[in-house]
Structure 1
């Protein structure tokens, strides 16, 4: 993975997590809104990272921080 590709992926995931956090804060104030947005986002990102790890050449030594 290139430095630029890694950086772009990190920015994308970071923006998604910030958006999920904002949705969770709105949900805290108005429980009827964004009822599963944060959880769905975190689960999707986790699944993405796990699938990348599983397809790595050596999944046992794959760094947790690689996007």
Structure 2
């Protein structure tokens, strides 16, 4: 039973506690970004770029995290954000 809680964290070289902290450090901005998008849907003049910034920031964090562990990105390169014109 314990293996179910530790198998995945071990596979990314983290303890259970470290993995929880990292997961939550992604969850909080995702929740806040989602809430901002929800409010933006009702009041389009609020949080005009918050969702886009959240996506860009989290993508950059997760892509760099893999590189820091020495893992190669699966054939993907960092996107050219200057060409990224979508705004959420």
* Structure-2-length-normalised TM-score: 0.62
Cα distance change of structure 1 residues 43 and 60 upon mapping to structure 2, 3 Å threshold: closer
- Structure 2 CA distance for aligned equivalents of residues 16 and 60 of structure 1: 23
Going by fraction, where is helix more abundant, 1 or 2?
Answer: 1
Give the equivalent residue in structure 2 for 1:31.
44
- Greater RCO (Cα-Cα under 8 Å, separation 6 or more): 1
Give the corresponding residue for 1:11: 24
Aligned to 2:64: 51
Q: Distance in 1 between matches of 2:16 and 2:45?
A: 41
What is the DSSP-based 3-state SS (H/G/I as helix, E as strand, rest coil) of the residue aligned with 2:48? coil
Flag structure 2 segments of 5+ consecutive residues without an equivalent. Answer: 1-13, 75-88
Question: Unmatched 5+ residue regions in structure 1?
Answer: 62-67
Q: How many corresponding residue pairs?
A: 61
Q: Is the 8 A contact 2:30 2:54 kept in 1?
A: yes
Higher CA-based Rg: 2
